[in-house]
Structure 1
Amino acid sequence: MGCGMAVDANRVIAGGVLIFVEPEEFRKFLELKKRPLLIVGETGGFRKTKLTMTTYDGALIITRGEVEVPKNAILVRTENLSLGK
């Protein structure tokens, strides 16, 4: 069965849908949009983790760390990022 793009996800949480991927896979999603929306921030309490997120067809695609921001992207930076509740 063929498909346009295959991505390996670290974790998928159904019901949201949150998809955690490696930075290389994340960049593939950015290439699919003319003006990708990127959200960059830190989550966690004592041990902060930097995350970068974008949306694709109703899913929230997430990677750890920061990635190179395309020139055509819309960038939202936040100091406090929450993934739930």
Structure 2
Amino acid sequence: MLSLTVILVSIMVVIALILNLWRLFAGPDLADRLLALDTMYINSIALIILLGIWLGSTLYFEAALLIAMLGFVSTAALCKYLLRGDIIE
């Protein structure tokens, strides 16, 4: 029952990733594209965690944590670049 649920939720997350990809390319504003990219990070983390649950391996959880940290830092850097025009003061 758990593997069926993981597969069903994975399909839903993949659909969300496809919709985020559409928003990334068709976003009318740069801020919309940045939010779509940030949401894609979150959805990819969810897919990696679901894969870890499905395979029963803890290595995938560490990879998801690494992607979460990189996603946060890159989103903060891109927002700072949008606001000020440079990243390092």
TM-score interval (norm. to shorter) = under 0.3
Which structure exhibits the higher relative contact order, with contacts defined as CA atoms closer than 8 Å and separated by 6 or more residues?
A: 1
TM-score by length of 2: 0.24
Is the radius of gyration larger for structure 1 or structure 2? 2
TM-score by length of 1: 0.24
- Structure having the higher helix fraction is 2
